[in-house]
Amino acid sequence: MRTYITVKSKERTACIDITETVQDVVRDSGITNGVCHLFVAHTTAALTINEGADPSVMRDMLVYLNKLVPFDGDYHHSEGNSAAHIKSTLVGVSENIFIEQGKLLLGTWQAVFFCEFDGPRTRKVTVTISGT
């Protein structure tokens, strides 16, 4: 089964918790045991799994990524968003999450985040679910 989640960012960089939306897709699929594969087909966005209980964790991640890869650098890409491309590569564009008893098999504090590095924009996350 394949479907798409739409994510709208309001800032240049943001980490948006999409855990509940992904869980809703899993529930609606009827799959009780399997794998949920998430993929973002954008070169300036990413996906990650990290702590969802304390929002300052993802804020810290963005602050550090922006220090590591600043918006203004010695880049040659004419669109002016090279930093976003680099951050997307560093974080990654896909995640696989096991499904057990109809639920995403995440740790107690884990959440799924869509990472926007070139916003604000409207994006799509591809969700592919397989199993029984």
Give yes or no for residue 12 having a pLDDT over 90: yes
Tell me what the mean pLDDT of segment 90-101 comes to: 98
For 2-131, CATH gives 2.60.120.460
pLDDT of residue 123: 98
Q: Is the peptide bond before 120 cis (omega within 30 degrees of 0)?
A: yes
| Ordered DSSP codes for 39-82 | E---TTEEEEEEE-S-HHHHHHHHHHHHHHS-SSSS---TTS-H
Give yes or no for residue 10 having a pLDDT over 90: yes
CA 65 to chain centre: 15
pTM, rounded to two decimals? 0.96
Domain assignments of the chain as residue spans, ordered by start? 2-131
* Of the candidates 16, 42, 19, the residue with the CA atom closest to the CA atom of residue 123: 42
Model confidence at 83, pLDDT cuts 50, 70, 90, reads: very high
Mean pLDDT for the chain overall: 97
Q: How many residues are given for the chain? A: 132
Quick check: 6 and 72 in contact, CB under 8 A?
Answer: no
Tell me what the mean pLDDT of segment 98-103 comes to: 98
* Of the candidates 73, 77, 66, the residue with the CA atom closest to the CA atom of residue 12: 66
69's CB contacts (< 8 A; 6+ apart) are 83, 86, 87, 90
Alpha carbons within 13 angstroms on the beta-carbon side of residue 68 total: 12
pLDDT of residue 7: 98
Model confidence at 78, pLDDT cuts 50, 70, 90, reads: confident
Q: What distance, in Å, lies between the first and last C-alpha atoms of the chain?
A: 11
53-67 per-position pLDDT tens digit:
999 999 999 999 999
Quick check: 73 and 80 in contact, CB under 8 A?
Answer: no
Beta-bridged to residue 7, according to DSSP, are 123
